[in-house]
Amino acid sequence: MSRLPRWIGWASWLGVVILYIPLLAVAILSFNSTRYGQQWGGFTLDWYAKMAANEAILSAAWNSLLLGVASTLIATVAGTLLAIGLHRTPWPRWFQRGSDLAINLPVVTPDIILAIALVGAFAVLREWSAVFKPGLVTLIIAHATFQISFVALVVGSRLATIGRDQVEAARDLYANTGQIWLRVLLPQLMPGIIAGALLAFTISLDDFVVSFFVSGPDSTTLPLLIYASVRRGVTPEIHALSTVIVAGTMLAIILTAWLQTRRDATPKD
Amino acid sequence: MRTAFLALILALNCLPGGEAKTVRIFMYSEYIDPSLAELFKARTGMELDIQLYEAQEEMIAKLQAGGTDQYDVLVASGVVVKQMAALKLIRPLDQALLPNKANIGAAFLNPAFDPGNQYGYPYFWGTSGLMYDSAKVQGEPTWAWVLDPAKQPGPFTLLDEAKTTLASTLAWQGKSMNSRVPAEIKAASEALVAAKHSAKCLGFAGGVDGKNRVLGGEAVVAMVYNGDAARHLAEKPTLRYALPKEGAEIWVDMLMVSAKTPNPAGAHALINFLLDAEVGAQNANFIQYASPNEAARAKIKPELLANPAIYPAAEDLKRLVYLEDLGRDSRVWDAGWTAVKSQ
Amino acid sequence: MAGRTLIVDGYLTTRPRLYGRGTLLILGAFLWMGVFLFAPLAGLAVLAFATRGEYGGVEWTFTWGNLVRLAGWDEFGFSWNHVQIVWRSLWLATVTTVLCLLIGFPMAFWIAAKPARWRGLLLALIMVPSCVNLVIRTYAWQQFLGAQMPAAWVAQHLGLVPEGSALYPTVAAVYLGMVSCMLPFTVLPLYTSVERLDWTLVEAARDLHAGRLRTFRHGILAQCMPGLLAATILTFIPSLGMFVISDMLGGAKFLLIGNLIQQQFGSMNDWPFGATAGLFLVLASLVALWGLRLVSERETPHARGRR
What residues does each domain of chain C span?
Answer: 1-32, 80-306
The span from the first CA to the last CA of chain A, in angstroms, equals: 30
Which residues lie across from C76 on neighbouring strands? none
Task: Report the distance separating Cα C63 and Cα C28, nearest Å.
Answer: 37
In the predicted structure, residue B230 carries a pLDDT above the cut 70: yes
Among the residue ranges A28-32, B101-105, B304-308, C207-211, the one predicted with the least confidence is C207-211
**Which DSSP letter does residue C257 get?**
H
Average pLDDT, chain B: 89
**Is C18's CB within 8 Å of A90's CB?**
yes
Chain segment C166-221, per-residue pLDDT in tens: 888 889 999 999 999 999 989 988 988 888 777 777 777 777 777 777 777 777 78
Maximum mean pLDDT: which of A225-239, B28-42, B320-334, C142-156: B28-42
Torsion of CA C246, C252, C253, C255, to 10 degrees: 70
Task: Report the distance separating Cα C222 and Cα C232, nearest Å.
Answer: 15
What DSSP letter does each residue of A182-216 carry, written as one string? IIIIHHHHHHHHHHHHHHHHHHHHH--HHHHHH--
| A111-126 helix and C257-265 helix, angle to the nearest 10 degrees | 30
Task: Report the distance separating Cα C152 and Cα C167, nearest Å.
Answer: 6
User: pTM of the entire structure?
Assistant: 0.84
pLDDT at residue number B2: 44
Cβ proximity of C76 and B186 under 8 Å: yes
How many C-beta atoms surround the C-beta of residue C12 within 10 A? Answer: 10
DSSP β-ladder status, B73-77 and B120-133: unpaired
Task: Report the distance separating Cα B302 and Cα B170, nearest Å.
Answer: 35
Q: Sort out which chain B residues have CB atoms less than 8 A from A116's CB and list them.
A: 61, 65
Q: Sort out which chain B residues have CB atoms less than 8 A from C263's CB and list them.
A: 162, 334, 337-338
Give the C-alpha distances (Å, rounded to integers) separating A19 from C15, C103, C104, C194, C302. Answer: 48, 11, 11, 21, 35
In the predicted structure, residue A261 carries a pLDDT above the cut 80: no
**Is C75's CB within 8 Å of B209's CB?**
no
At C7, is the secondary structure helix, strand, or coil? strand
Which domains, ranges and CATH numbers included, belong to chain B? Answer: 17-125+252-312 (3.40.190.10), 126-249+317-340 (3.40.190.10)
Element (H, E) at B234: none
At A250, is the secondary structure helix, strand, or coil? helix
Which residues lie across from B205 on neighbouring strands? B159
**Is A253's CB within 8 Å of C128's CB?**
yes
**Cα Dmax for chain A:** 71
In the predicted structure, residue B267 carries a pLDDT above the cut 50: yes
Which residues of B lie closer than 8 Å to C, measured between beta carbons? Answer: 55, 57-58, 60-61, 64, 82-83, 86-87, 155, 160-163, 182, 186, 196, 201-205, 209, 213, 216-218, 325, 327-328, 330-339, 341-343
Q: Sort out which chain C residues have CB atoms less than 8 A from A161's CB and list them.
A: 192-193, 196, 223, 226-227, 303
By the CB < 8 Å criterion, does C213 face chain A? Answer: no
| C171-194 helix and C222-241 helix, angle to the nearest 10 degrees | 140
Q: Is residue A34 part of a domain?
A: no
Chain segment B137-162, per-residue pLDDT in tens: 999 999 999 999 999 999 999 998 88
Task: Report the distance separating Cα A75 and Cα A219, nearest Å.
Answer: 20
In the predicted structure, residue B16 carries a pLDDT above the cut 70: no
More confident residue, A100 or B221: B221
pLDDT at residue number C136: 85
Chain segment A89-140, per-residue pLDDT in tens: 888 888 988 898 899 898 888 888 899 899 888 988 888 888 888 889 999 9
Cβ proximity of B93 and B73 under 8 Å: no
* ipTM score for this prediction: 0.83
**Which DSSP letter does residue C48 get?**
T
pLDDT at residue number C304: 40
Contacts of B267 (CB under 8 A, 6+ apart): B23, B72, B73, B257, B258, B261
Residue by residue, what is the 3-state secondary structure of B153-172?
A: CCCEEEECCHHHHHHHHHHH
pLDDT at residue number B1: 43
Task: Report the distance separating Cα C177 and Cα C138, nearest Å.
Answer: 7
The CATH superfamily assigned to C80-306 is MetI-like (1.10.3720.10)
pLDDT at residue number C8: 63
| C222-241 helix and A136-159 helix, angle to the nearest 10 degrees | 150
By the CB < 8 Å criterion, does A175 face chain C? Answer: no
In the predicted structure, residue A266 carries a pLDDT above the cut 80: no
At A59, is the secondary structure helix, strand, or coil? helix
In the predicted structure, residue A269 carries a pLDDT above the cut 50: no
Contacts of B200 (CB under 8 A, 6+ apart): B152, B154, B155, B156
Task: Report the distance separating Cα B103 and Cα C202, nearest Å.
Answer: 82
Contacts of A3 (CB under 8 A, 6+ apart): none
Confidence tier at B213 by pLDDT (50, 70, 90) = confident
Which residues lie across from C58 on neighbouring strands? C52
User: What distance in Å separates residue B6's CA from the closest CA in chain C?
Assistant: 15
CA C35, C36, C39, C43 dihedral sign is positive
Q: Is residue A246 part of a domain?
A: no
Q: Sort out which chain A residues have CB atoms less than 8 A from B66's CB and list them.
A: 119, 122-123, 126, 134
Task: Report the distance separating Cα B12 and Cα B5, nearest Å.
Answer: 11
Mean pLDDT of A12-16: 93
pLDDT at residue number A37: 61
Mean pLDDT of B211-228: 89
Which residues lie across from B225 on neighbouring strands? B128
Helix intervals (H) in C52-210: 65-71, 81-112, 116-127, 134-144, 150-157, 171-194, 199-207
Contacts of A145 (CB under 8 A, 6+ apart): A106, A114, A118, C32, C33, C36, C37
**Is C270's CB within 8 Å of B334's CB?**
yes
Q: What CATH number did the domain enclosing A132 receive? A: 1.10.3720.10
Q: For C87-93, which contacts have Cβ atoms below 8 Å and span 24 or more sequence positions? A: C88/C254, C88/C255, C88/C256, C89/C240, C89/C241, C89/C256, C89/C257, C89/C258, C90/C240, C92/C174, C92/C178, C92/C239, C92/C242, C92/C246, C92/C256, C93/C236, C93/C237, C93/C239, C93/C240, C93/C242
At B45, is the secondary structure helix, strand, or coil? coil
**Is A133's CB within 8 Å of B13's CB?**
yes
Confidence tier at B5 by pLDDT (50, 70, 90) = very low
Which of A122, A218, A231 faces B29 most closely, judged by CB atoms? A231
Q: In chain B, helix, strand, coil percent, each to 5?
A: 45, 20, 35
Give the C-alpha distances (Å, rounded to integers) separating B39 from A165, B27, B29, B295, B300. Answer: 72, 19, 19, 19, 18
Contacts of C301 (CB under 8 A, 6+ apart): C222
Domain limits for position A120: 70-232
Among residues A230, A22, A252, A66, the alpha carbon closest in space to that of C130 is found at A22
Centroid of chain to Cα A112? 19
Among the residue ranges B41-55, B87-101, C10-24, the one predicted with the least confidence is C10-24
In the predicted structure, residue A41 carries a pLDDT above the cut 90: no
Q: How many domains would you assign to chain A?
A: 1
Cβ proximity of B292 and B124 under 8 Å: yes
What DSSP letter does each residue of A1-20 carry, written as one string? -TT--HHHHHHHHHHHHHHH
Among residues A230, C170, C152, A240, the alpha carbon closest in space to that of B216 is found at C152
Torsion of CA C216, C222, C225, C227, to 10 degrees: -60
Q: Is residue A213 part of a domain?
A: yes
Contacts of A34 (CB under 8 A, 6+ apart): A40, A41
Cβ proximity of C156 and C148 under 8 Å: no
How many C-beta atoms surround the C-beta of residue C176 within 10 A? Answer: 22
Q: Is residue A214 part of a domain?
A: yes
CA A173-A174-A179 angle, 5° bins: 100
Q: Is residue A95 part of a domain?
A: yes
In the predicted structure, residue B232 carries a pLDDT above the cut 70: yes
Among residues B241, B220, B222, B246, the alpha carbon closest in space to that of B309 is found at B241
Give the amino acid at C52. Answer: R
Task: Report the distance separating Cα B309 and Cα B209, nearest Å.
Answer: 18
Q: Give chain C's residues under pLDDT 50.
A: 1-2, 302-307
Residue of chain B with shortest Cα separation from C167: B218
Which of B204, B205, B327 faces C55 most closely, judged by CB atoms? B327
Task: Report the distance separating Cα A238 and Cα B153, nearest Å.
Answer: 36
Count of H-run helices and E-run strands, chain A: 12, 0
